[in-house]
Amino acid sequence: MKLFGTMSIKENELIIGGIGVSELKSKHGTPLYIIDQKGFEDKANLFINNFKSNTFDTRVIYASKAFMNLSIAKLVSKLGLCIDVVSGGELYTALKAGFDPNKIYFHGNNKLYDELVLAVQNRVGTIVVDNEYEYDLLSGISGEFETVTRVILRVNPGIEAHTHEYIQTTKNDSKFGLSIFDDKTMDFIIKMSSDPNIDFAGIHCHVGSQVFDENTFLKEADEMIKYAKEIENEAQVVFKELNLGGGFGVYYTDEDNPFELGSFLGRYTKHIEHKLSELDLNPEIISIEPGRSLINSYGSTLYTVGAIKKTMAGLPYVFVDGGMTDNPRPSLYQAKYEAVIANKMDDTDLESYRIAGKCCETGDILIKDASLANPMPGDLLLISSTGAYNYSMSSNYNRIPRPEVVFVKDGVSKTAVKRETYEDLIRNDEVID
Ligand code: LLP
């Protein structure tokens, strides 16, 4: 397993944020989501320090759908990033964490009336409008609150990103945004930019997630800048912000080959500067919206090994005390992960096992083929790279409580989200006679 952030090995044991996994288990129990706070902070700073320009302001917007709770929102705010929220729930969490509303971007392809009211009431900085119906609602709400709402429009530049079909977002039949190839989109922009309740500031797109090809992002920037210029010409507006989304691919296993982010961001910025000057466009702000590439490598899930058994066909299974409820990605996207027996890190005699969870579901497999050091009941099994889209996509299937989330840094562990209890599971149940 590749070690990330502050991970190290001491006396046969995996250490994260200066704390051994057995201490984490005795303090917090398992399954446990562990966030390496320093790893995350360093990655946030890498984005801030490398995505910058002398010709425009840059914004790094954390896509909170990857991993959201009060503590991460507070940390993101402290680090100086903006935040992308995609629902009333994420928005509420950001506001409760004290996030400056001005630095919030509100996304979503079907924002509800009440969600838009919450956003306008709280003076959310930017609403990323997806379609005309939503714009109509928003314009009306802004009018009622006697305010002018800053808006950017999500568009689809039709760039094909090579990633899993479910996480591609700009195919021509994608549900997100409006196509730049549809003349009606420009008519709509012209209409929005003359609305006194709306400050039309620019456009947004997101080509997909877990994308490894650098050229996809460069091509996306080119297309978006060209379209931004057309907007300036046709809608007679000053184009202010181009938001190029997230999607930068990360390492899960040795099948993944991500580009080095720091140097990529430098090249990316230069490329954007060049294209802008070629077309004589001068937006105030260029923004990006990374989620996975900020948090994924700095999250791990710690489990306790239960039974180990061989099927009649000879397949050796290791069962853990969690499963698809805390990580649905292997069953949803055939996502692959790496694991270790975290209390046997020096053991080099590895054998192949299938790691399965405790859900009543044949597909509840976390890793099909993991190389593990002689797992025994009671051992600690850690799956790395679970920072993004694990906790945020977790469920209570089989009425399994969600694990605790702990942040570790400098030898101290702090609970960010408490472990759910059985009582939590029945909290909203009503008994009908
Ligand atoms: N901005 C927008 C508008 C997005 O839709 C997304 C992701 C992001 C930013 C952040 O993308 P990232 O940097 O994290 O790749 N549940 C899936 C991923 C879905 C991503 C949806 N949108 C998974 O587990 O792989």
Per-residue pLDDT in tens (0 to 9) along the chain, 433 residues: 999 999 999 999 999 999 999 999 999 999 999 999 999 999 999 999 999 999 999 999 999 999 999 999 999 999 999 999 999 999 999 999 999 999 999 999 999 999 999 999 999 999 999 999 999 999 999 999 999 999 999 999 998 776 555 555 555 788 899 999 999 999 999 999 999 999 999 999 999 999 999 999 999 999 999 999 999 999 999 999 999 999 999 999 999 999 999 999 999 999 999 999 999 999 999 999 999 999 999 999 999 999 999 999 999 999 999 999 999 999 999 999 999 999 999 999 999 999 999 999 999 999 999 999 999 999 999 999 999 999 999 999 999 999 999 999 999 999 999 999 999 999 999 999 9
Assigned domain for 134 exists: yes
Name the residue of 209, 220, 326, 334 to mutate for ligand 1: max ligand atoms within 8 A of Cβ. Answer: 209
Of 2, 47, 38, 48, the C-alpha closest to 261 is 47
Domain boundary among 290, 308, 335: 290
| Whether residues 215 and 352 fall in one domain | no
Q: Which residue range is the domain that position 389 belongs to?
A: 8-36+297-425
Ligand 1 atom 9: residue of nearest CA:
246
Residue 86 lies in a domain: no
pLDDT given for residue 344 in this prediction: 98
Is 46 domain-assigned? no
- Decide: pTM greater than 0.85: yes
Ligand 1 atom closest to the Cα of residue 290 is: 13
Q: Among the atoms of ligand 1, which is closest to the Cα of residue 293?
A: 13
With respect to residue 79, please indicate whether it lies within any of the assigned structural domains: no
Whether residues 157 and 251 fall in one domain: yes
Look up residue 12 and give its amino acid: N
> Are 177 and 283 in the same domain?
yes
CATH of residue 181's domain is 3.20.20.10
Is the Cβ–Cβ distance between 359 and 325 less than 8 Å?
yes
Instruction: Give the pLDDT of residue 174.
Output: 83
Q: From the alpha carbon of 329, which atom of ligand 1 is closest?
A: 24
Residues 277 and 420 both lie in one domain = no
Counts for the chain of helices (H) and strands (E), in that order = 12, 21
DSSP one-letter string for 252-278: SSTT--PPPHHHHHHHHHHHHHHHHHH
Identify whether residues 230 and 306 lie together within a single domain: no
Tokens linked to 144? 């009622």
Same-domain pairing of 149 and 19: no
Residue identified by tokens 């009908």 is 432
Residue 378: which of 327, 320, 337 has the closest Cα?
320
* CATH number of residue 416's parent domain: 2.40.37.10
Within 6 A (CB) of ligand 1 lie 63, 66, 84, 107, 167, 169, 206, 209-210, 245-248, 289-293, 329, 333, 388-389
Ligand 1 test: best mutation among 47, 111, 289, most atoms within 8 Å of CB? Answer: 289
Q: Name the domain boundary from 248, 274, 290.
A: 290
> What is d(CA 258, CA 394) in angstroms, rounded to the nearest whole number?
26
Residue 360 inside a domain? The answer is yes
Q: What is the CA(286)–ligand 1 centre distance, in A?
A: 19
Residue 178 lies in a domain: yes
Same domain assignment for residues 185 and 146: yes
- Length of the chain equals 433
Same domain, residue pair 235 and 130: yes
CA of 375 to the centre of ligand 1 (A): 34
52-75: b (≥16 Cβ within 10 Å) or e: eeeebebbbbbbbbbbbbebbbbb
Cβ pair 416, 75 in contact under 8 A: no
> Cα separation of 125 and 130, whole Å?
16
Residue 171 pLDDT: 55
Q: Indicate if 272 and 133 belong to the same structural domain.
A: yes
**CB 136 within 8 Å of CB 113:** no
Active site residues: 360
Domain closes at, from 251, 272, 290: 290
Same domain, 189 and 246: yes
* Residues whose CB falls within 8 Å of the CB of residue 143, separated by 6 or more in sequence, listed in order: 197
Is residue 28 classed exposed, middle or buried when 0-12, 13-18 and 19+ CB atoms within 10 A define those classes?
buried
Using the mean position of ligand 1's atoms as its centre, give its distance from the Cα of residue 65 in Å. Answer: 7
Which residue CA neighbors atom 5 of ligand 1 most closely? 206
Q: Cα(154)–Cα(142) distance, rounded to whole angstroms? A: 19
